[in-house]
Amino acid sequence: MSATATEPIAPSRETIRQAPKVLLHDHLDGGLRPATILDLAPGAGHTLPAADAESLGRWFAESANSGSLERYLETFDHTVAVMQSAENIRRVARECVEDLAEDGVVYAEVRYAPEQHLQGGLSPEQVVEAVKAGFEEGEEAARIQGQPIVVRQLLTAMRHQARSREIAELVVRYRDEGVVGFDIAGAEAGFPPTRHLDAFEYLQRENAHFTIHAGEAFGLPSIWEAIQWCGADRLGHGVRIIDDITQGPDGRSVLGRLASYVRDKRIPLEMCPRSNVQTGAATSIAEHPIGLLKDLGFRVTVNTDNRLMSGTSMTEEMYDLVEAFGYTLADLRWFTINAMKSAFLPFDERLEITNTEIKPVYAVLGAVA
């Protein structure tokens, strides 16, 4: 059957690459180029599991495909090991921005844990400043290439450690120098977000933004604590909110109290489909809860999580969804504007990017609002 006005053609991978994209959940230490890791490892005194870029990239993808979040997190030993000097961190940050811009991303919030980059003698402040310098260099390089992009930092505290208040104070200190928010990450089971309540209450008093990894490897209690006890502005993943949605006798979806609250309050879900499949949070892209959650009107966003480990990009994540759910450019535009609305950037800056970088380009590409 030929496409008609009511049956738009599914966008190609190249069209998706050209479309402006917004990324809210991307880990700096999860997006290194394999060639860069190989280049930096000898100077860092670190031994790698492969000797060439292609083999190393394949090793990361295969190791991350275990279906276990804990095993997935082990792959970071190799990326973090080469990010222990200001020079290396700056290079990784610059290349991150260049890669995102090349993929058509116009705004990104990239997160990392300063406490994981202190083994070479850096202070947390020096880590933040090295990332800032790298992001600025990357933005300038992208601008020269005609690929404008704005990238901001999210500072992460590891949930199994006890430095969250210190990192939260770092967020406030650098809030006018490229840091837009706070996060906690790491294994969820056994490390509930309420362990870091002091940090979240401090951030709320300072009118600062924060997201919380919740509802990925652990279920509804993690989401409930993140929102109702800690006051999260966004949910990192939040995929297990699907556990609070059942099917009624008439086949319609019935939302529980928590799912209703998340939808009613328009709490953004930072969904990372490929990563969720790798860690076992979803069985496949086609069965990922993102499809139902979008249909039900949740504030869903599409993200990469860890581009190296998942062998992914924003283009690939969106193309997967096009293939799995038959999404059109209009759907991708919806995801993108959702993300821009949910960014921790000031409202006027969000509006400017939406009106100058997102809507006009989608209109040219043929997306119907």
Kindly list the catalytic residues: 216
Which residue, among 258, 264, 190, has the nearest Cα to 228 in the 3D structure?
A: 258
Which residue, among 134, 193, 135, 138, has the nearest Cα to 168 in the 3D structure?
A: 193
Chain Cα centroid distance, residue 85? 24
Name the pairing type of β-strands 245-247 and 253-255.
antiparallel
φ, ψ dihedrals at 265, nearest 5° = -85, 0
Query: CB of 333 within 8 A of CB of 27?
Result: no
CA dihedral 301, 305, 307, 313 (to 10 degrees): 0
CA–CA separation, 252 and 183 (whole Å): 35
- Number of Cβ atoms within 10 Å of the Cβ of 49: 11
Query: CB of 139 within 8 A of CB of 149?
Result: yes
Token pair for 21: 């994209």
Number of H helices, E strands in the chain: 17, 10
Query: CB of 236 within 8 A of CB of 268?
Result: no
**CA distances (Å), origin 17, targets 11, 311, 361:** 10, 16, 12
φ, ψ dihedrals at 3, nearest 5° = -70, 145
